[in-house]
């Protein structure tokens, strides 16, 4: 299988434009969509629109027309013709999927759940109290969110692991109401392993809706006028979880109406390799991300012979894979093999691309990590490939993509908490602080603020 993957020599000044193009493709503003996506857009809307325009139309339509619009998009985009009362997966279907699941699969789900819960509970914020030396006692109080929506992808692959990686952190934080949305496809809400995983975790709200329409449905609610109909999706407080470009852009669109976690779009990896890295490991790691379809995979090395060795391995391994053709398309559209001058240049490039997954598959990974700040999750050394984090380790696999790791972090139990500050002063504490409060209030000409303190000193 002949693979046309970009080769970039970052040591040459003219490589700059190739690197910028790569970066743009990976960012959500790049709005890169496949030809198939563009064809689908024309079929649905009768005109070629950008993904951002598509998402705005879908979200506004679902906000205005509710369940009717959500079902129409499910039919047009996913080919599923459903009635309003078929939107929610019946409790009996969840129980039946669980009863029919392979016992070994359920045991794996339980072990993975325990790993995730252990880590997510360990990192959870706890209340903090501070007594001020000048008087006054302060508290930071953390409370779980009430109702959260979990996006589980289902276009090109099935993701029971994403149910675990979103629901278990939420449960560690104490969230009681969880609603799962997954497209009405064989990889989504018709996937019995996914339904069995939901049941195992005690999730009983699963809806057959995906893409931007699912995000809008959770942000606005499908039946905004109470009383809520049975089976109609109610508005949530926060939407978390990954998805394709349409899901990521929709989450960005509804932010403010509800909270979101981050832009967790199409998967990405940068593998940093050197003379110690077997080419077959590096190739396998790149393909593992590309098979998400779409997924981006970039090799960075200062050991030049590795570029062609990995290119050869990629062709060999792609030919043997069931999803080889899909992975090949991703590698050709969003992949690159990059040569850098040295480790320091590799570190700088990583910070610029701020990738979702960074695998330091080279010697002395800690020394390199000390020079890098931006990545969703970092995998250290030759025996920590990304699937360890995708499935088993404990940190959530829902991670920021498209260079948003410059400012965003991976999903964690703390994303499901809100905090209140609690301020308590006695008369003595107030007196001790009054002079400063009155002085700064007067500087702002907010004399009523000053008076609210002075009145208590009389």
Ligand X SMILES: NC(=O)c1ccc[n+]([C@@H]2O[C@H](COP(=O)([O-])OP(=O)(O)OC[C@H]3O[C@@H](n4cnc5c(N)ncnc54)[C@H](O)[C@@H]3O)[C@@H](O)[C@H]2O)c1
Enumerate binding residues for ligand HSO (CB under 6 A).
Answer: 159, 161-162, 267, 356, 390, 397, 399
Residues 6+ positions from 236 with CB-CB distance below 8 Å: 147, 148, 149, 177, 179, 218, 219, 258
Task: Give the integer Cα–Cα distance in Å for 66 and 64.
Answer: 6
Q: Is 267 annotated as a binding residue?
A: yes
- Which option in ligand HSO, Zn ion, ligand X, none does residue 37 bind, with CB closer than 5 to 8 A by kind? ligand X
What is the smallest separation between the CB atom of 21 and ligand X, expressed in angstroms? 20
Which two tokens mark 167?
């629901």
> Which residues is 208 bridged to in the sheet?
182
The yes-or-no answer on residue 357 being catalytic is yes
Binding-residue total with Zn ion (CB under 5 A): 1
Report, in Å, the least distance between residue 384 CB and ligand X. Answer: 18
Chain contacts with ligand X (rule: CB under 6 A):
37, 40-41, 54, 77-78, 153-157, 159, 162, 183, 210-212, 242-244, 246-247, 264-267, 292, 294-295, 356, 397-399, 401
In angstroms, give the least distance from the CB of 306 to ligand X. 25
Distance from first CA to last CA of the chain, Å, rounded?
86
Q: Which does 221 bind (CB under 5 to 8 A by kind): ligand X, Zn ion, ligand HSO, none?
A: none
Quick count: other Cβ atoms within 10 Å of Cβ 145?
20
Based on the residue annotation, tell me whether 98 is a catalytic residue of this protein: no
Of 199, 253, 357, 397, which one is the catalytic site residue?
A: 357
CA distance 268 to 289: 6
Name 254's Cβ contacts closer than 8 Å, sequence gap at least 6. 59, 215, 216, 219, 220, 239, 260
253 labelled binding-site residue: no
**Is 397 marked as binding a ligand?**
no
How near is the Cβ of 410 to ligand HSO at its closest, in Å? Answer: 10
The binder of Zn ion chosen from 73, 390, 395, 412 (CB under 5 A) = 390
Residue closer to Zn ion, measured from CB, 41 or 330: 330
Please say which residue, 173 or 297, places its beta carbon nearer to ligand X: 297
Of 212 and 337, CB closest to ligand X: 212
Closest approach, Cβ 255 to Zn ion, in A, equals 25
Tokens encoding 156: 């090109």
Q: Which is nearer to Zn ion, 251 or 359 (CB)?
A: 359
Cα(397)–Cα(160) distance, rounded to whole angstroms?
A: 12
- E strand segments, 259-360: 259-260, 267-273, 295-301, 336-339, 357-360
Q: Which of 200, 205, 268, 356 is catalytic?
A: 356
Query: Is position 390 annotated in a ligand binding site?
Result: yes
Q: Which helix (H) or strand (E) holds 439?
A: helix 427-443
Q: Annotation-wise, does 276 bind a ligand? A: no
Cβ density class 379-411: b for 16+ within 10 Å, e for less: beebebbbbebbbebbbbbbbbbbbbbeebebb
356 binds Zn ion (CB under 5 A): no
Pair of tokens at residue 281: 């490991």
Which residues sit in the known binding site for substrate? 267, 289, 292, 357, 390, 444, 449
Which residues sit in the known binding site for Zn(2+)? 289, 292, 390, 449
Active site residues: 356-357
């Amino acid at each position: 299988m002949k693979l046309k993957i970009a080769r970039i020599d970052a040591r040459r000044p003219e490589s700059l434009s190739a690197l910028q193009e790569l970066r743009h493709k990976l960012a959500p503003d790049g709005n890169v969509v496949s030809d198939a996506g563009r064809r689908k857009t024309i079929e649905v809307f009768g005109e070629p629109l950008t993904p951002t325009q598509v998402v705005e139309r879908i979200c506004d339509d679902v906000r205005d027309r509710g369940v009717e619009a959500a079902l129409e998009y499910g039919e047009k985009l996913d080919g599923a013709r459903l009635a309003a009362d078929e939107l929610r997966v019946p409790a009996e279907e969840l129980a039946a999927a669980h009863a029919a699941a392979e016992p070994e699969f359920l045991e794996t789900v339980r072990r993975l759940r325990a790993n995730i819960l252990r880590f997510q509970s360990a990192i959870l914020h706890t209340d903090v109290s501070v007594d001020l030396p000048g008087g006054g006692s302060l508290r930071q109080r953390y409370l779980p969110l009430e109702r959260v929506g979990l996006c589980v992808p289902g276009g090109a692959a099935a993701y029971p692991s994403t149910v675990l990686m979103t629901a278990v952190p939420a449960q560690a934080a104490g969230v009681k109401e969880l609603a799962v949305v997954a497209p009405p496809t064989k990889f989504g809400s018709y996937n019995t392993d996914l339904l069995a995983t939901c049941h195992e975790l005690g999730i009983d709200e699963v809806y057959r809706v995906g893409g931007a329409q699912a995000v809008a449905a959770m942000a606005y609610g499908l039946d905004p006028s109470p009383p809520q109909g049975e089976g109609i999706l109610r508005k949530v407080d926060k939407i978390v979880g990954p998805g394709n470009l349409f899901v990521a852009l929709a989450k960005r669109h509804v932010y403010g109406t509800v909270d979101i976690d981050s832009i967790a779009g199409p998967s990405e990896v940068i593998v940093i390799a050197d003379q110690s890295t077997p080419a077959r490991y590096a190739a396998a790691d790149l393909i593992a991300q590309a098979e998400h379809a779409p997924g981006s995979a970039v090799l960075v090395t200062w050991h030049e012979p590795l570029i062609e060795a990995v290119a050869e391995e990629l062709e060999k391994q792609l030919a043997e894979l069931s999803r080889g053709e899909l992975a090949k398309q991703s590698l050709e559209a969003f992949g690159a093999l990059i040569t850098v001058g040295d480790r320091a240049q590799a570190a700088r490039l990583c910070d610029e691309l701020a990738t979702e997954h960074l695998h330091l598959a080279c010697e002395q990974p800690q020394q390199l990590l000390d020079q890098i700040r931006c990545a969703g999750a970092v995998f250290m050394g030759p025996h920590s490939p990304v699937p360890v984090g995708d499935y088993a380790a404990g940190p959530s696999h829902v991670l920021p993509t498209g260079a948003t790791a410059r400012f965003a972090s991976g999903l964690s139990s703390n994303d499901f908490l809100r905090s209140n500050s609690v301020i308590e002063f006695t008369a003595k504490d107030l007196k001790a602080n009054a002079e400063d409060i009155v002085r700064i209030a007067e500087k702002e000409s907010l004399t009523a603020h000053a008076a609210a303190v002075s009145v208590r000193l009389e």
